Amino acid sequence: MRYRVAFVCAALLSGCASSAQEQRPAGDRYVEMYRTLHPSVVLFTMRVPADEPRRKGKFDDAYGTGVVVASGAWGSRILTDAHVVADARNLVARIGDGKSAPARVIATSNDDDDVAIVETAIPNSTVAQLGTSRSVEPGSAIGVLGYPIPDAFADEHLGTTVSLYTGRIASVRKGALELDVPIIPGESGGPVFDALTGKVIGIAESRFDEERAIGFATPIDVAVKFIASHPRIANYPH
């Protein structure tokens, strides 16, 4: 009898676990969106000029994030912040924690818009869906995908992969979306997405060095307008 009771309990627990998995709230959209967007998120590694005047002419390792906005047999085009890839040497893109290849900057905006398009030969990558920032309001739920301090994670043998942070739009500013999510070094250039639709509504950036708790995003409409104004990349699907 003891064994039968144990078997029944085990079966009930197994059934409950299966039921819990099957009944995972459909509202848990972040899990679904992470799976959808992860393959299109890009880690950039590069060498950039050293900041310190005493090290003039020297280069340091640097990194940033981007998101694939067009891809085909010819390769992939990646949207990021212009400041992420400014003066970069030995620029390498790794898409979706998968293939890596050399990359090159093919277009950059002015400092106010701070967007850039990077191209790599990695073909047939997953392309992120872009939305619009026109209807975004304070309080809207969002997520941010990126690579926070990837060198530190690597040094701690924790691996290098995309991280997801969730929060809300704190304010809609002139030419920028303010987030209640801090943008950690390395995450700049990553996609900020609408938690309801999963579409990208902004490109993450950090503006206040002295106050890292406040994050920002360049509205995606700014990036789309920039892309459309460049004949070489205007065949981007938007």
Q: What is the pLDDT of residues 186-208, one digit of tens each?
A: 999 999 999 999 999 999 998 76
Which CATH number is associated with domain 35-128? 2.40.10.10
The pLDDT assigned to 235 comes to 55
- 211 pLDDT above the threshold of 70: no
Mean pLDDT over 68-75 rounds to: 95
Rg (CA), the chain: 21
Mean pLDDT over 196-221 rounds to: 87
Lowest mean pLDDT among 9-13, 51-55, 105-109: 9-13
> What is the per-residue pLDDT across 88-99, written as a single tens digit (0 to 9) for each?
999 999 999 999
Mean pLDDT over 27-31 rounds to: 82
Of residues 36, 46, 89, the one with CA closest to residue 67: 36
The pLDDT assigned to 167 comes to 95
Give the fold, CATH level 3, of 141-225. Answer: Thrombin, subunit H (2.40.10)
Q: Which long-range contacts (CB under 8 A, 24 or more apart) does 201-210 make?
A: 201/131, 201/132, 201/133, 201/136, 201/142, 201/177, 202/133, 202/142, 202/177, 203/67, 203/79, 203/80, 203/81, 203/115, 204/65, 204/81, 204/144, 204/146, 204/179, 205/81, 205/83, 205/114, 206/182, 207/176
Q: Do domains 35-128 and 141-225 have the same CATH topology?
A: yes
Mean pLDDT over 31-38 rounds to: 95
Distance from C-alpha of 32 to C-alpha of 104, rounded to nearest angstrom = 31
Mean pLDDT over 215-233 rounds to: 87
- 8 pLDDT above the threshold of 50: no
Going from N- to C-terminal start, the domains of the chain cover: 35-128, 141-225
